[in-house]
Amino acid sequence: MKQYFKIDEWRIIEEGFNPEENKVAESVCSIGNGHMGQRANFEESYSGDTLQGSYMAGVYYPDKTRVGWWKNGYPEYFAKVLNSINWIGIDIKVDGETLDLAKCKILDFTRILNMKEGYLHRTFTAELPSGKTVKVDAKRFVSIARKEIGAIRYSITPVNFSGKLEITAYLDGDVKNEDSNYDEKFWDEVSKNVSSGEASLVVSTKKLDFHVCSTMKFDIVQVGRKINVTADTIEKEKYVSNTVVLLCSKGEETVIYKYTSNVTSRDHEKSELINVSKAALLKAYELGFEALLEEQANAWADKWKESDIVIEGDSSAQQGIRFNIFQLNQTYTGKDERLNIGPKGFTGEKYGGSTYWDTEAYCIPFYLATADEDVARNLLIYRYKHLEKAKENAKKLGFSKGALYPMVTMNGEECHNEWEITFEEIHRNGAIAYAIYNYVNYTGDKAYLGEYGFEVLSEISRFWEERVHFAVPKGKYVMHGVTGPNEYDNNVNNNWYTNRIAAWTLDYTIEVMNYLKEKEPARFEELNAKLQIKDEEIAKWKDIVANMYYPEDKELGIYLQQDNYLDKEQILVKDLDPKNLPLNQNWSWDRILRSCFIKQADVLQGLYFLEHLYDDETIRRNFEFYEPRTVHESSLSPCVHSILAAKLGMQEKAYEMYLRTSRLDLDNYNNDTEDGCHTTSMAGTWMSVVHGFGGMRVRNGQLQLNPFIPGHWNSFSYKVMFRGALLKINVTSENLIVSNESENAITLSVHGSTYTVSGNETLNIAC
Amino acid sequence: MKQYFKIDEWRIIEEGFNPEENKVAESVCSIGNGHMGQRANFEESYSGDTLQGSYMAGVYYPDKTRVGWWKNGYPEYFAKVLNSINWIGIDIKVDGETLDLAKCKILDFTRILNMKEGYLHRTFTAELPSGKTVKVDAKRFVSIARKEIGAIRYSITPVNFSGKLEITAYLDGDVKNEDSNYDEKFWDEVSKNVSSGEASLVVSTKKLDFHVCSTMKFDIVQVGRKINVTADTIEKEKYVSNTVVLLCSKGEETVIYKYTSNVTSRDHEKSELINVSKAALLKAYELGFEALLEEQANAWADKWKESDIVIEGDSSAQQGIRFNIFQLNQTYTGKDERLNIGPKGFTGEKYGGSTYWDTEAYCIPFYLATADEDVARNLLIYRYKHLEKAKENAKKLGFSKGALYPMVTMNGEECHNEWEITFEEIHRNGAIAYAIYNYVNYTGDKAYLGEYGFEVLSEISRFWEERVHFAVPKGKYVMHGVTGPNEYDNNVNNNWYTNRIAAWTLDYTIEVMNYLKEKEPARFEELNAKLQIKDEEIAKWKDIVANMYYPEDKELGIYLQQDNYLDKEQILVKDLDPKNLPLNQNWSWDRILRSCFIKQADVLQGLYFLEHLYDDETIRRNFEFYEPRTVHESSLSPCVHSILAAKLGMQEKAYEMYLRTSRLDLDNYNNDTEDGCHTTSMAGTWMSVVHGFGGMRVRNGQLQLNPFIPGHWNSFSYKVMFRGALLKINVTSENLIVSNESENAITLSVHGSTYTVSGNETLNIAC
C-alpha cells in the first residue's frame, strides 16, 4: 500500500506537486458543509488533469439513461449530482503571463486539509515559463456556521521581479459533468449582473428547473493595506468576472479576499435568490475572512467534541479515523430532511444519485451516536417522505400493493438501471425497515413508530408478502430471483439474507402494530383508517414468518447464501493466486458469478443485523465458513466482518478487517479515489472502532460496552451520545474510563457488569 | 390479426397508400440478392415517415457500445449493418414543384412485390398541391444474375397539364443509421465524379475502412423515343447527381432508366473499385432494362424450381410460405462463405450484427434441402473461419483453452453486451456443433469432418470441459450460471438443454475422432499435431458424458428446465389473463424471470435436436408439460413446437403453431415489422411445413417422410434436394406423389415403407 499524504493527527498533507496524483488530492482534500461542497481544485487556471467539482446539495439532473438493451420497468433517467457554478475561480496573470501550475516549474508546493478547523490551505512557489517566480498562499473554506458562504484568502508575492499583476475573480456556470451520458451540458443562464467589486450569476438546470445563484464580493489588500481599484468587468454566457490590474513589487504580498454566497431554489423562492444571496454575502463580507475562519474553527470544535475518536500510539490510524469522521460531518449535517448521504459526498460525481442502502446500513449508526437524535430521525423521515414513490415503484413492477424503495435515488424515484440490481437487489427494503428498529432501539423514541415508522413498515411488509410465493415441492415460502448484498451472485433463489430480513420485517411490523394497538390506540386507528390492513394480511404475514424457507446445511451448521450454494466449486480466497484479485478487475462477470467468492457480507450481514437473535456459536460457524470465501471488494464489507470478529473474540481478524478501510481513500487503496471519496463506507470504519473494538451495543435500552484494544494501539477513546448523555469512552490497557460530559446520569453495562455514571462524572473501571 | 396486404399467391400487394403503414411495407417489399439489399423506399423525395435502408452485405460498422454499467469482458463495440449509398434516388419536380407523396393528394397507389420474378413495382397517381396530377409507374430490382446491378424503370406521365419536368438522378452517401448509438454518421467521402449522363461515388467507413463504390448511368425515353439531353451536374459532400429538364405534354410518358453498379472493397482492390463498378455498369446498361428483367425472372425461376412450396386450398398460407422462401433466397445465396444471415436480412438495421445461432438452428435445414450442398457447407465454414476468434473469446473470459463462439457477430468477435446473454447464453456453442452433425447426416459429406468439422468440435468440447465443474453434493458434473434458449430465465444452474447439448457435443466429438482415426488416419495425425488433444482430455470428456447432471422430475417423467424449476409458481398460459401478454411488453423483467413462463423451446429444443435419442413417450410428456407454459414470444419458438407436435401426431397443435409464424411479417403480428422482417425465423416456418407436416427426416442416410395435410389445405407440395436428387413431394389427401426431377435415383422411406424412385420418375403412394 502506498502512502501519499504525510501522517499528521489533524491534517492531511500533500507535499510536493505530483500532477498524476492531483485528482486524488482534489478528492481527499474536498471541503463541504452539508449544503455545498467543493473539490480541492485550484483557484487559478490549471490546464493539467483535474476534475472540477462544485456541488450544491440536492441539486441534481435527470440525465438520459444509457442502457444496452432496454428492459421493461427500467427508469427513464439517471439522476446525477450536478457540477454547479464554479465560485472559487481566481485567474492570475503576471505581466500578461497566465499562472498555470501545469506550465510552471514548481519550487515548492503543499496542499493541506486542516480537519481540526475545517479549511483547505495551499502554498506554492512557482517559476513561470518567463522565469518570473511567484509565491502563493491560498486558504479557503465553506462555512459550517453560514451554510451559503464560501470564502477564500488568496495571496500572491513576486519573488524575483516587480511587475503587473492581473487578478480575475469570477463565477462560472458554464460547467459540465464529466459523467454526462451524452456529453450534454445541463445548465442554462437565467440572469447575471456584474459591476466593479461584485457580481451575481443565476443559472437553472435544463430539466427540473433548479435555480442556483452565486454572488461574490472581494477585497484587495496590498502590503497589509486594503486598496480601492476599479475592476474591469467581463460578461460571457453563464460567466461574470472582475479583473483588477495592479503593480506589485518584488517581495511584496498582494491578497485577494473573495467572498461568495451560494443559494438555491430548494431553499428560497426563485425571485428572491439574488436578494437572499446578496444579504448573506454582505454579512460575511462585513465580518471579514479572519472572523469567519474563527467562527469556522469554533463550529468544528463543537463537532469534534461530539464525534472525535482519539487513538494513542498509532498516528496513521488516528489520521485515518479523523479523516473519516471529518468527511462524514462535511457531507451530512442532519438539518435538512430532504437530503441524504451520497456515496461520494461532495467529493465527486460518480454513482450519480444520492441515496443507497448505505445510509440505513452504515451511516445511521454513526449519526445516532455522534449527533442529536434528530439527525438520524431526519434520515428516516427522508424515506417516509418517499413512501408514495416507493409504492409507485412497486406498482410499476407489477405488484398490487406495498412499497419497494429504490436502489439509488434523488427524489424517491428509482435511478438505477441494471435489472439484477434495480429489480432484484430488494433487500434494500429490509435495511430501511431495520433502520427503524435500530433507531428506536438506540434512542428509545417509540413515538417515531406511530408518527412515521409503522406506515413504512406496513408497506414494506406488503411488498414482501407479494414477493414471496409458496413452493409446493418445499412446502415453504420461497423468494426467487433476487440479488443479495453479495452482488457477485445475481438472480438467485432463496438468498438467506433476503428471506431472513423479509420475515424479520413482517415479524417486527406485527410487533409494532401490537405495540401501537396497546399504547397508542387512537393513533393506530387513525393509521389503520389510512392503511386498511386486513386480517388476512396479518394472518398471511404470520404464516410467512412461520413458514419461510431458509437454505441451510445442517452438517456444516451454516445457513446457505442461496439455494445450492454448496454446489459451487469451493475454494478459499487464500488458496487463490493473488494475481486474480481484485476479481472485479480480472475476471469476466460470469466467472465471478459462478465462483463461490463473496463480494461483501451476505449471510453475515444478516447475522450482524440480527445478532441478538442468534447464539455466538451459530455466528462463529457462519463467520468461519463465509469470511474465508469473501474478497471484500466492496468498501462496505470489512466493517461488518470486523465487528463480528470482535464480538467473537477474534481480535486479530477484527483489526485486519479494520485496516482494510480505515485509510481507503487516504492511501487510494482501490485506485479510484480520483473519482471521489468512499464517503458512506467511512461510517463503517467508525463502526469498526465503536461497535467493534469498543464493543458498543444497545440492549433493552441500555448501553453495553465490551471493549478491547486492537493492534499496537496504546489506548483509544470515542464519543457517544446516548439518550441525553454525552460520553467520552477511553479504553486503555488497564481500564475503561467513562467520562460523562453531560448533565444526565447514565447506567451502562461494561463486560456484563452494570455501572451508573452521574452527570459530569468520570468512572474508572479496571478491565 | 390484421391483414394489410392483399392475398395473392405470387405477389405481395399494397393497395392505397397509408403513411402509418409505410415502414411496414418498406420492410416487407424489400429486395435483395445476397450481395446487397434495399428497403422498398420511394425513388422520389418523401418527407413522411420512412426508414431509408440500402445495405451491402458484409459492410458493417463497429459502433461505440452503450451499456449501463460496464462489466469485465464486455466487447468494446457493437457491429452494425450499415445503411449505405442511396442508389435508388430520383427526384422529380413538376414546373418547379417537388413530387413528394407526403404532400400530395393520392388518387391511386399500389406497391407490389413480385416474388415470382423478383422485382418491386409501384404505381400511383398523385395530385400535387398546385393541382397538377401525375401518374407514376416504377419498377426496380437488384439482379440475381449480376450481383452488383440495381436497375430502375421510372415512368412519369402528366395527367392534366403540360409543363416542365425536372428529373434528378443521384447517388447519396450522406446517409446515417437510425440506430447509431451516439447519433454519429459513419461514412467519409473518398472520391466522386460526375458528368452528364453518368456519375460515380466512393465512400469509406470512418472505422475499418470499408470502401463502397456506386456508379450510375441513365437513359431518358419520351413517348417511346430515347432522347439525348445534356444534364446539369451537382456535387455536394458524399453526393453526386444529374438533373435533366424536359418539356412534357399532357398524357405523354417520360421514362428514366437508371442503372447502378455497387461494389465494395470486400470483393475488390480499393484502387480498382471505380473501374470494376463501371465495367459491370456498362454491360448492364448495354443490355438494357427489359433484358435484365428477363434475366432476373429466369434466375428466380431457377430458385423456385429448387425451393418452392405449393399449397392448394389456402391462398393466404400459399402467399405466406412463398414470402418466407423469397426473403430467405434474397438474403443468402451461399456464394460467399464470409457472409451469413442477419436476423433482419436486408430489410432493416435492427439487431446489428449479422450472425446469431439462428443460422445453425433454423436456417441450415432450409438451405440443406433447397440449395446445393455448398450453400450449407459455406455457412459451416463461416464458423470454421471464426475459430481463432472464438478461441480468443474463450481466453478473454478466463478459459485456459477451448472456443466460445459469440452470440452476435460480424467478423467472429462478440458484439453483444448483456452479461446474461453474452457470457451465459453459451448453448450457442452447442448449436454450432450440432449443425456439423446435421449437415453430415443430411449430405453424407463425411469429408467435411476431417477438413473442418473436427477442429471446431474439439475446441467447443474443450470449452465445455472447462465450463462444467464437479459438484460434490450431487456427485455429478454441473453447469452453473447459464441462460438457456428460454431467455426468460437468466443465470440459472443446470439448464437441461445446455447440459445435454454440451454432453452430446463431447460424445459426438469422440465419435468423430474415432471415425477419423479409423477412416482418415493420416488426416487425423495432421489434425492432432495441431490440436494436441491429450488422453486426459478424452478421458475427461468421457467422464463428463457419463456423469453429467440432468435435472429431472421422475414422478412427472420430465426433464427440468433447470435446478428447482418446479419451485416456481406453476401457472399455464391459458390460465393467464390475456391482458398480460405479451409478457415482454407488460411485465417487468424480474417478474418474467420468476415466472414459470417460457419464451421459446428450451427442454423441447433439446428433444427436437436429439429426437433420435429419445422415445416418443418421453418427448410427449415433456411437450405436454412445457408447451402449455410457453408464451412463444420469440419468432423462433412456434416452429420447433409445430414439428414436435406433428411428430407426436398432434396435428391441430402443429397447425396452430405453424400459423403463429407463417405470416408474422405479412400481418405484422408483433407490431415491429417496420424495423425489418424476421428473416431467420422464416426458415423455421419452412421447417414447420417440410419437417413438420411433411414429416421429413434423414436417418441412416435415408430420407424419411411421414406427411399429413394440415388445416383445411387440399394438398401441398415441396421441393427437396437430397444427395444429388431433386424431388418434388406432393402430399394430397389420397396419396403421396414423389417426382424425381433429377437424373439420380433415390431410395426413401414413406410411413415406414421403403421405395425407390428412379431419375425423372414419379411415384404415387397411397396414404
**A469 in reach of chain B (CB within 8 A):** yes
A656, part of any domain: no
Domain boundary among B581, B603, B628: B628
Q: Report the gap between the CA of A461 and the closest CA in chain B (Å).
A: 18
Chain A residues with beta carbon closer than 8 angstroms to that of B397: 588, 590-591
Query: Could you tell me how many CB contacts below 8 A there are between chain A and chain B?
Result: 128
Q: Report the gap between the CA of A480 and the closest CA in chain B (Å).
A: 6
In this structure, are B60 and B138 located in the same domain?
yes
Instruction: Name which of A67, A562, A589 to mutate to probe chain B: the one with the most chain B Cβ atoms within 10 A of its Cβ.
Output: A589
Q: What are phi and psi of A10, to 5 degrees?
A: -120, -5
**B576 in reach of chain A (CB within 8 A):** no
In this structure, are B280 and B319 located in the same domain?
no
**A550 in reach of chain B (CB within 8 A):** no
In sequence order, the 6+-apart residues with CB closer than 8 A to the CB of B534 are none
**B764 in reach of chain A (CB within 8 A):** no
Of A300, A319, A299, A301, nearest to A309 (Cα)?
A: A319
In this structure, are B72 and B95 located in the same domain?
yes
In this structure, are B245 and B156 located in the same domain?
yes
Q: Of chain A residues 61-80, which have a CB less than 8 A from chain B?
A: 65-69, 71-73
A317, part of any domain: no
Contact B481 A68 (CB under 8 A): no
A206, part of any domain: yes
pLDDT at A353 over 70: no
Q: Of chain A residues 110-129, which have a CB less than 8 A from chain B?
A: none
In this structure, are B54 and B188 located in the same domain?
yes
CB B674 within 8 A of CB B718: no
In this structure, are B379 and B471 located in the same domain?
yes
Q: What is the pLDDT of residue A296?
A: 98
Report residues of chain B scoring pLDDT below 50: 1
Instruction: Name which of B590, B597, B633 to mutate to probe chain A: the one with the most chain A Cβ atoms within 10 A of its Cβ.
Output: B590
In this structure, are B515 and B541 located in the same domain?
yes
Of A11-20, A62-71, A757-766, which gets the smallest average pLDDT? A62-71
**B714 in reach of chain A (CB within 8 A):** no
Chain A residues with beta carbon closer than 8 angstroms to that of B493: 564, 567
Q: How many CB atoms lie within 10 A of CB A767?
A: 16
Mean pLDDT of A316-335: 94
Q: What is the pLDDT of residue B353?
A: 67
Q: Which amino acid is at B178?
A: E
Q: What is the pLDDT of residue B687?
A: 97
Chain B residues with beta carbon closer than 8 angstroms to that of A491: 420, 490-491, 593
- Number of domains, chain B: 3
Note the Cα A500 to chain centre separation in Å. Answer: 27
Determine the length of chain B: 767
pLDDT at A1 over 60: no
Cell of residue B24, nine digits? 411496414
Instruction: Name which of A590, A593, A594, A595 to mutate to probe chain B: the one with the most chain B Cβ atoms within 10 A of its Cβ.
Output: A590
Q: Which residue of A has its CA nearest to B586?
A: A72
B379, part of any domain: yes
Cα distances (angstroms) measured from residue A326 to each of A31, A122, A314, A351, A615: 9, 19, 18, 21, 36
Burial of residue A657 (CB within 10 Å: 0-12, 13-18, 19+) is buried
| Alpha-carbon span A82 to A203, nearest angstrom | 12
Mean pLDDT of A302-326: 95
Mean pLDDT of A14-43: 97
B491, part of any domain: yes
Domain boundary among B305, B326, B341: B305
pLDDT at A174 over 70: yes
Select which of B295, B487, B520, B633 is catalytic: B487
Domain harbouring A233, CATH code: 2.70.98.40
Q: What is the percent of chain A where pLDDT is above 70?
A: 100
HSE-CB at B663 with a 13 A cutoff on CA atoms is 20
Select which of A413, A424, A487, A633 is catalytic: A487
Instruction: Give B339-360 pLDDT, tens digit per residue.
Output: 999 889 999 998 776 899 999 9
Chain A residues with beta carbon closer than 8 angstroms to that of B67: 66-68
Of A223-237, A429-443, B461-475, which gets the smallest average pLDDT? A223-237
Q: Which residue of B has its CA nearest to A566?
A: B473
Contact B587 A424 (CB under 8 A): no
Of A86-95, A495-504, B220-229, which gets the smallest average pLDDT? B220-229
Q: What is the pLDDT of residue A711?
A: 83
Which helix (H) or strand (E) element contains residue A458?
A: helix A454-467
A672, part of any domain: no
In sequence order, the 6+-apart residues with CB closer than 8 A to the CB of B328 are B341, B345, B363, B366, B367, B679, B682, B683, B686
Q: What is the pLDDT of residue B373?
A: 94
B162, part of any domain: yes
**A580 in reach of chain B (CB within 8 A):** no
In this structure, are B118 and B220 located in the same domain?
yes
Contact B588 A423 (CB under 8 A): yes
Instruction: Give A505-533 pLDDT, tens digit per residue.
Output: 999 999 999 999 999 999 999 999 999 99
In this structure, are B80 and B187 located in the same domain?
yes
pLDDT at A36 over 90: yes
Domain boundary among B270, B287, B305: B305
Which helix (H) or strand (E) element contains residue B225?
A: strand B225-227
Cell numbers 470441459 label which residue?
B465
**A145 in reach of chain B (CB within 8 A):** no
In this structure, are B174 and B247 located in the same domain?
yes
Cα distances (angstroms) measured from residue A503 to each of A457, A507, A608, B212: 12, 6, 16, 64
Cα distances (angstroms) measured from residue B400 to each of A53, A292, B8, B392, B503: 44, 64, 56, 10, 19
Domain harbouring B348, CATH code: 2.60.420.10
| Alpha-carbon span A634 to A604, nearest angstrom | 14
Buried b or exposed e, range A207-243, using 16+ CB within 10 angstroms = ebebbbbbbbbbbbbbeeeeeeeebebeeeebbbbbb
Q: Of chain B residues 372-401, which have a CB less than 8 A from chain A?
A: 396-398
Of B344, B487, B491, B495, nearest to B430 (Cα)?
A: B495
Chain A residues with beta carbon closer than 8 angstroms to that of B472: 566-567, 570
Q: Is A117 an active-site residue?
A: no
**A418 in reach of chain B (CB within 8 A):** yes
Chain B residues with beta carbon closer than 8 angstroms to that of A562: none
In this structure, are B82 and B193 located in the same domain?
yes
Strand B746-750 versus strand B702-705 pairing type: parallel
- The single-letter DSSP state of residue B573 is G
Look at the alpha carbons of A316, A322, A326, A327 in this order and tell me if their dihedral is positive or negative: positive
Q: How many CB atoms lie within 10 A of CB B758?
A: 12
Task: Provide the residue range defining the domain that includes B299.
Answer: 11-305
Q: What is the pLDDT of residue B661?
A: 85
Q: Is this complex scored with an ipTM above 0.90?
A: yes
3-state SS, one letter per residue, for B480-510 = CCECCCCCCCCCECCCHHHHHHHHHHHHHHH
Mean pLDDT of A624-640: 95
Contact B71 A589 (CB under 8 A): yes
Q: What is the pTM of this model?
A: 0.94
Chain B residues with beta carbon closer than 8 angstroms to that of A490: 490-491
In this structure, are B190 and B135 located in the same domain?
yes
Instruction: Name which of B495, B589, B595, B672 to mutate to probe chain A: the one with the most chain A Cβ atoms within 10 A of its Cβ.
Output: B589
A284, part of any domain: yes
Q: What is the pLDDT of residue A696?
A: 98
